[in-house]
Amino acid sequence: MSWVVAGVNILIFPGMFFLLVLGLAGQFVDRKLYARLQSRVGPPWFQPVADFFKLLGKESVIPEEADRRMFVMAPVFALAAVVAAYLYIPLWSTKPIFSFYGDLVVVLYLLLIPTLTFFLGGWYSRSIFSTLGAVRSITQLFAYEIPLLIALLSPALLADTWSISGMTAYYQAHPWYWLFNLIGLGVALVTLLGKLERVPFDAPEAETEIVAGSFTEYSGRHLAFFRMAIDAEAIVSSSLVAAVFLPFGLGLPLWLGIIVYLAKLAGILFVLALLRTVFARLRMDQMINFCWRYVAPIAFLQVIIDLVLKEFL
Protein backbone atom coordinates (compact mmCIF):
# COMPACT_ATOMS: atom_id res chain seq x y z
CA MET A 1 0.00 0.00 0.00
CA SER A 2 1.53 3.24 -1.08
CA TRP A 3 1.66 6.23 1.24
CA VAL A 4 -0.78 8.20 -0.90
CA VAL A 5 -3.42 5.50 -0.73
CA ALA A 6 -2.87 5.08 2.98
CA GLY A 7 -3.17 8.84 3.49
CA VAL A 8 -6.42 8.99 1.54
CA ASN A 9 -7.73 5.99 3.45
CA ILE A 10 -6.87 7.46 6.82
CA LEU A 11 -7.88 11.04 6.24
CA ILE A 12 -10.73 10.88 3.76
CA PHE A 13 -12.38 7.57 2.91
CA PRO A 14 -13.18 5.49 4.83
CA GLY A 15 -11.22 7.26 7.54
CA MET A 16 -11.54 10.57 9.33
CA PHE A 17 -13.62 12.71 6.97
CA PHE A 18 -16.10 9.91 6.29
CA LEU A 19 -16.34 9.24 10.01
CA LEU A 20 -17.00 12.89 10.86
CA VAL A 21 -19.70 13.16 8.19
CA LEU A 22 -21.24 9.96 9.50
CA GLY A 23 -20.98 11.34 13.04
CA LEU A 24 -22.96 14.44 12.14
CA ALA A 25 -25.46 12.38 10.17
CA GLY A 26 -25.75 10.02 13.12
CA GLN A 27 -26.41 12.94 15.44
CA PHE A 28 -29.16 14.11 13.10
CA VAL A 29 -30.73 10.62 12.92
CA ASP A 30 -30.61 10.36 16.71
CA ARG A 31 -32.10 13.80 17.30
CA LYS A 32 -34.79 13.35 14.68
CA LEU A 33 -35.82 9.93 15.99
CA TYR A 34 -35.77 11.19 19.57
CA ALA A 35 -37.94 14.14 18.57
CA ARG A 36 -40.42 12.06 16.58
CA LEU A 37 -40.73 9.55 19.40
CA GLN A 38 -41.57 12.47 21.71
CA SER A 39 -44.07 13.83 19.17
CA ARG A 40 -41.91 16.81 18.34
CA VAL A 41 -40.85 17.91 14.86
CA GLY A 42 -37.09 17.70 15.36
CA PRO A 43 -34.24 19.52 13.62
CA PRO A 44 -33.66 19.86 9.86
CA TRP A 45 -30.92 17.64 8.40
CA PHE A 46 -28.21 20.30 8.41
CA GLN A 47 -28.70 21.28 12.07
CA PRO A 48 -25.68 19.31 13.41
CA VAL A 49 -23.43 20.90 10.76
CA ALA A 50 -24.79 24.35 11.54
CA ASP A 51 -24.28 23.76 15.27
CA PHE A 52 -20.72 22.62 14.71
CA PHE A 53 -19.67 25.59 12.60
CA LYS A 54 -21.49 28.03 14.83
CA LEU A 55 -19.63 26.69 17.85
CA LEU A 56 -16.34 26.97 15.94
CA GLY A 57 -17.03 30.68 15.46
CA LYS A 58 -17.81 31.33 19.10
CA GLU A 59 -15.40 32.64 21.66
CA SER A 60 -13.55 29.94 23.61
CA VAL A 61 -13.35 30.82 27.26
CA ILE A 62 -10.75 29.01 29.34
CA PRO A 63 -11.21 29.43 33.09
CA GLU A 64 -8.28 31.13 34.82
CA GLU A 65 -8.00 28.35 37.38
CA ALA A 66 -8.05 25.59 34.77
CA ASP A 67 -4.93 23.79 33.66
CA ARG A 68 -4.65 25.38 30.24
CA ARG A 69 -2.78 22.62 28.47
CA MET A 70 -4.95 19.75 29.69
CA PHE A 71 -8.09 21.78 29.10
CA VAL A 72 -7.20 22.40 25.46
CA MET A 73 -5.75 18.97 24.75
CA ALA A 74 -8.63 16.89 26.14
CA PRO A 75 -11.03 17.35 23.20
CA VAL A 76 -8.24 16.81 20.65
CA PHE A 77 -7.21 13.56 22.32
CA ALA A 78 -10.82 12.39 22.42
CA LEU A 79 -11.30 12.99 18.71
CA ALA A 80 -7.92 11.51 17.76
CA ALA A 81 -8.51 8.32 19.74
CA VAL A 82 -11.92 7.79 18.20
CA VAL A 83 -10.64 8.35 14.65
CA ALA A 84 -7.75 5.96 15.28
CA ALA A 85 -10.12 3.28 16.56
CA TYR A 86 -12.21 3.56 13.41
CA LEU A 87 -9.28 2.49 11.21
CA TYR A 88 -9.24 -1.00 12.75
CA ILE A 89 -12.93 -1.79 12.39
CA PRO A 90 -14.10 -3.77 9.34
CA LEU A 91 -17.01 -1.85 7.86
CA TRP A 92 -18.35 -3.47 4.67
CA SER A 93 -15.75 -6.15 4.06
CA THR A 94 -13.76 -8.38 6.37
CA LYS A 95 -10.71 -6.17 5.77
CA PRO A 96 -10.36 -2.89 7.68
CA ILE A 97 -7.71 -0.32 6.71
CA PHE A 98 -5.29 -1.74 9.25
CA SER A 99 -5.43 -4.99 11.09
CA PHE A 100 -3.20 -7.09 13.29
CA TYR A 101 -3.62 -9.88 15.76
CA GLY A 102 -5.08 -8.36 18.93
CA ASP A 103 -6.58 -5.22 17.43
CA LEU A 104 -9.88 -5.91 19.22
CA VAL A 105 -8.21 -5.11 22.53
CA VAL A 106 -6.54 -2.02 21.07
CA VAL A 107 -9.84 -0.71 19.74
CA LEU A 108 -11.46 -1.22 23.14
CA TYR A 109 -8.63 0.72 24.77
CA LEU A 110 -8.83 3.49 22.18
CA LEU A 111 -12.56 3.76 22.86
CA LEU A 112 -11.76 4.13 26.55
CA ILE A 113 -9.73 7.27 25.92
CA PRO A 114 -12.71 9.61 25.26
CA THR A 115 -14.12 8.79 28.70
CA LEU A 116 -10.72 9.45 30.23
CA THR A 117 -10.54 12.80 28.46
CA PHE A 118 -14.00 13.65 29.81
CA PHE A 119 -12.58 12.97 33.23
CA LEU A 120 -9.36 14.91 32.68
CA GLY A 121 -11.05 17.81 30.92
CA GLY A 122 -13.63 18.08 33.70
CA TRP A 123 -11.10 17.60 36.48
CA TYR A 124 -8.71 20.24 35.17
CA SER A 125 -11.56 22.72 34.63
CA ARG A 126 -11.48 23.07 38.42
CA SER A 127 -15.12 24.09 38.57
CA ILE A 128 -17.27 22.25 41.08
CA PHE A 129 -19.80 21.04 38.52
CA SER A 130 -17.05 19.87 36.16
CA THR A 131 -15.30 18.03 38.96
CA LEU A 132 -18.48 16.27 40.02
CA GLY A 133 -19.22 15.37 36.41
CA ALA A 134 -15.67 14.09 35.97
CA VAL A 135 -15.90 11.89 39.05
CA ARG A 136 -19.24 10.56 37.91
CA SER A 137 -17.84 9.82 34.44
CA ILE A 138 -15.04 7.73 35.85
CA THR A 139 -17.30 6.02 38.42
CA GLN A 140 -19.71 5.10 35.69
CA LEU A 141 -16.82 3.80 33.58
CA PHE A 142 -16.16 1.08 36.14
CA ALA A 143 -19.79 0.03 36.02
CA TYR A 144 -20.33 -0.35 32.27
CA GLU A 145 -16.86 -1.00 30.88
CA ILE A 146 -16.44 -4.52 32.21
CA PRO A 147 -19.79 -5.89 31.01
CA LEU A 148 -19.08 -4.21 27.66
CA LEU A 149 -15.62 -5.80 27.46
CA ILE A 150 -16.95 -9.24 28.35
CA ALA A 151 -19.78 -8.92 25.86
CA LEU A 152 -17.41 -7.92 23.05
CA LEU A 153 -14.82 -10.56 23.89
CA SER A 154 -17.17 -13.54 23.99
CA PRO A 155 -17.74 -13.69 20.21
CA ALA A 156 -13.95 -13.55 19.93
CA LEU A 157 -13.77 -16.64 22.16
CA LEU A 158 -15.99 -18.53 19.78
CA ALA A 159 -14.02 -17.35 16.74
CA ASP A 160 -10.76 -18.11 18.54
CA THR A 161 -9.02 -14.94 17.40
CA TRP A 162 -8.27 -11.54 18.91
CA SER A 163 -8.46 -9.63 15.66
CA ILE A 164 -11.75 -8.10 14.56
CA SER A 165 -10.96 -8.86 10.98
CA GLY A 166 -10.33 -12.52 11.86
CA MET A 167 -13.62 -12.62 13.77
CA THR A 168 -15.61 -11.26 10.85
CA ALA A 169 -13.87 -13.78 8.56
CA TYR A 170 -14.83 -16.60 10.95
CA TYR A 171 -18.48 -15.53 11.11
CA GLN A 172 -18.44 -15.05 7.34
CA ALA A 173 -17.39 -18.70 7.01
CA HIS A 174 -20.07 -19.82 9.47
CA PRO A 175 -22.99 -17.60 8.41
CA TRP A 176 -25.51 -18.20 11.18
CA TYR A 177 -23.18 -18.42 14.17
CA TRP A 178 -23.73 -14.74 15.04
CA LEU A 179 -27.18 -15.69 16.28
CA PHE A 180 -25.47 -17.33 19.28
CA ASN A 181 -24.29 -13.90 20.41
CA LEU A 182 -27.63 -12.10 20.64
CA ILE A 183 -27.42 -11.83 24.43
CA GLY A 184 -24.05 -10.14 24.05
CA LEU A 185 -25.58 -7.75 21.52
CA GLY A 186 -28.20 -6.74 24.07
CA VAL A 187 -25.58 -6.21 26.76
CA ALA A 188 -23.42 -4.19 24.36
CA LEU A 189 -26.33 -1.92 23.40
CA VAL A 190 -27.24 -1.24 27.03
CA THR A 191 -23.65 -0.53 28.05
CA LEU A 192 -23.17 1.67 24.97
CA LEU A 193 -25.75 3.99 26.50
CA GLY A 194 -23.41 4.25 29.47
CA LYS A 195 -20.38 4.81 27.29
CA LEU A 196 -22.13 7.53 25.30
CA GLU A 197 -23.56 8.98 28.55
CA ARG A 198 -27.14 8.94 27.38
CA VAL A 199 -30.39 8.54 29.30
CA PRO A 200 -30.82 6.48 31.47
CA PHE A 201 -27.05 6.60 32.16
CA ASP A 202 -26.47 10.31 31.65
CA ALA A 203 -25.81 11.16 35.31
CA PRO A 204 -22.29 12.49 34.41
CA GLU A 205 -23.89 15.30 32.44
CA ALA A 206 -27.27 15.54 34.16
CA GLU A 207 -28.15 19.13 33.42
CA THR A 208 -30.65 19.51 36.24
CA GLU A 209 -28.03 18.55 38.82
CA ILE A 210 -24.55 19.47 37.64
CA VAL A 211 -25.25 21.71 34.62
CA ALA A 212 -23.25 19.95 31.88
CA GLY A 213 -20.88 17.88 34.02
CA SER A 214 -17.37 17.75 32.58
CA PHE A 215 -18.29 20.11 29.75
CA THR A 216 -19.63 22.91 31.96
CA GLU A 217 -16.63 25.19 31.42
CA TYR A 218 -16.11 24.30 27.76
CA SER A 219 -17.17 26.69 25.05
CA GLY A 220 -16.44 27.58 21.46
CA ARG A 221 -14.24 25.32 19.40
CA HIS A 222 -13.11 23.20 22.33
CA LEU A 223 -16.71 22.28 23.00
CA ALA A 224 -17.29 21.79 19.28
CA PHE A 225 -14.47 19.23 19.14
CA PHE A 226 -15.73 17.47 22.25
CA ARG A 227 -19.19 17.19 20.78
CA MET A 228 -17.74 16.03 17.49
CA ALA A 229 -15.73 13.40 19.34
CA ILE A 230 -18.89 12.17 21.08
CA ASP A 231 -20.78 11.96 17.78
CA ALA A 232 -17.88 10.09 16.19
CA GLU A 233 -17.63 7.84 19.25
CA ALA A 234 -21.27 6.89 18.78
CA ILE A 235 -20.54 5.88 15.19
CA VAL A 236 -17.32 4.02 15.99
CA SER A 237 -18.79 2.05 18.87
CA SER A 238 -21.92 1.27 16.84
CA SER A 239 -19.66 0.10 13.99
CA LEU A 240 -17.74 -2.07 16.41
CA VAL A 241 -20.95 -3.61 17.69
CA ALA A 242 -22.09 -4.12 14.09
CA ALA A 243 -18.78 -5.76 13.14
CA VAL A 244 -18.71 -8.04 16.16
CA PHE A 245 -22.35 -8.98 16.57
CA LEU A 246 -23.85 -8.47 13.11
CA PRO A 247 -21.13 -9.90 10.84
CA PHE A 248 -23.20 -10.57 7.72
CA GLY A 249 -23.29 -9.05 4.25
CA LEU A 250 -19.55 -8.41 4.27
CA GLY A 251 -18.63 -10.05 0.94
CA LEU A 252 -20.89 -7.86 -1.20
CA PRO A 253 -19.88 -5.35 -3.90
CA LEU A 254 -18.75 -2.01 -2.47
CA TRP A 255 -21.94 0.02 -3.01
CA LEU A 256 -24.18 -2.72 -1.65
CA GLY A 257 -21.80 -3.30 1.24
CA ILE A 258 -21.95 0.38 2.19
CA ILE A 259 -25.74 0.29 2.14
CA VAL A 260 -25.80 -2.80 4.37
CA TYR A 261 -23.33 -1.13 6.73
CA LEU A 262 -25.38 2.06 6.93
CA ALA A 263 -28.53 0.02 7.53
CA LYS A 264 -26.85 -1.76 10.44
CA LEU A 265 -25.72 1.58 11.88
CA ALA A 266 -29.20 3.06 11.48
CA GLY A 267 -30.70 0.05 13.24
CA ILE A 268 -28.32 0.40 16.19
CA LEU A 269 -28.88 4.16 16.37
CA PHE A 270 -32.62 3.56 16.34
CA VAL A 271 -32.41 1.16 19.28
CA LEU A 272 -30.20 3.63 21.18
CA ALA A 273 -32.65 6.49 20.51
CA LEU A 274 -35.59 4.32 21.53
CA LEU A 275 -33.91 3.31 24.78
CA ARG A 276 -33.15 6.87 25.74
CA THR A 277 -36.72 7.90 24.98
CA VAL A 278 -38.44 5.45 27.29
CA PHE A 279 -36.36 5.73 30.46
CA ALA A 280 -35.77 8.22 33.26
CA ARG A 281 -32.21 8.98 34.37
CA LEU A 282 -30.89 6.57 36.98
CA ARG A 283 -28.99 7.82 39.99
CA MET A 284 -25.29 6.94 40.19
CA ASP A 285 -25.81 4.25 42.83
CA GLN A 286 -28.77 2.77 40.94
CA MET A 287 -26.74 2.75 37.74
CA ILE A 288 -23.83 0.90 39.32
CA ASN A 289 -26.19 -1.53 41.01
CA PHE A 290 -27.95 -2.19 37.75
CA CYS A 291 -24.73 -2.80 35.82
CA TRP A 292 -23.15 -5.13 38.34
CA ARG A 293 -26.25 -6.93 39.50
CA TYR A 294 -27.92 -7.58 36.15
CA VAL A 295 -25.80 -6.61 33.16
CA ALA A 296 -22.48 -8.16 34.22
CA PRO A 297 -23.95 -11.63 35.05
CA ILE A 298 -25.80 -11.64 31.72
CA ALA A 299 -22.52 -10.81 29.97
CA PHE A 300 -20.88 -13.74 31.79
CA LEU A 301 -23.72 -15.95 30.61
CA GLN A 302 -22.72 -15.05 27.05
CA VAL A 303 -19.13 -16.07 27.78
CA ILE A 304 -20.30 -19.44 29.13
CA ILE A 305 -22.52 -20.00 26.10
CA ASP A 306 -19.62 -19.29 23.76
CA LEU A 307 -17.20 -21.50 25.68
CA VAL A 308 -19.65 -24.40 25.66
CA LEU A 309 -20.43 -23.94 21.99
CA LYS A 310 -16.76 -23.92 21.16
CA GLU A 311 -16.47 -27.44 22.55
CA PHE A 312 -19.26 -28.78 20.39
CA LEU A 313 -18.96 -26.87 17.11
Partner 1 sequence: MSDIDRVVTVPIGPQHPALKEPESFMVDLRGEKIDAVRIRFGYNHRGIEKGCETRSYTQDLYLVERVCGICSFSHSTAFIHAVEEIAGLEVPVRAKYIRTIIGELERIHSHLLWLGVAGHEIGFDTLLMYTWRDREQVMILLARLTGNRVNYGINTYGGVRRDIAPDMMPEILKVVDSLEERTKHYIELAMREQTLIQRLSGVGKLSKEDALFLGTVGPTARASGVDRDARRDDPYLAYPDLEFKVVIDDHCDVYGRTIVRLGELMQTYSILRQLIKKIPDGPITVKAPRRIPEGEAVSRYEAPRGEDVHYVRGNGTEKPERVKVRAPTLANTASVGKMLEDGYLADLPIVVAAIDPCFSCTDRMVGVRESGTESRGAGRKTMTWEEVSRYGVEWHKARGLDFSSLGIPGGIEA
Residues that bind partner 1 (CB under 8 A): 37-41, 44, 128-129, 132, 199-200, 202-203, 206-211, 277-286
Residue type for position 193 = L
Residue (96 or 133) nearer to partner 1, CB:
133
Residue (43 or 257) nearer to partner 1, CB:
43
Residue (198 or 264) nearer to partner 1, CB:
198
Residue (281 or 301) nearer to partner 1, CB:
281
Residue type for position 187 = V
Residue (157 or 281) nearer to partner 1, CB:
281
Residue (155 or 200) nearer to partner 1, CB:
200
Backbone angle region of 220, left / alpha / beta, with phi > 0 → left and psi within -120 to 50 → alpha: left
Contacts of 141 (CB under 8 A, 6+ apart): 112, 115, 119
Rounded to 5 degrees, what angle do the CA atoms 9, 12, 14 make? Answer: 55
Check: CB of residue 200 under 8 Å from CB of residue 282.
yes
Residue (14 or 200) nearer to partner 1, CB:
200
Query: Could you tell me which of 128, 110, 131, 105 has the C-alpha nearest to residue 120?
Result: 131
**In the complex, least distance from residue 131 CB atom to partner 1, rounded to whole angstroms:** 8
Report the half-sphere exposure of 253 (CA within 13 A, side-chain side).
2
CB atoms within 10 A of CB 219: 15
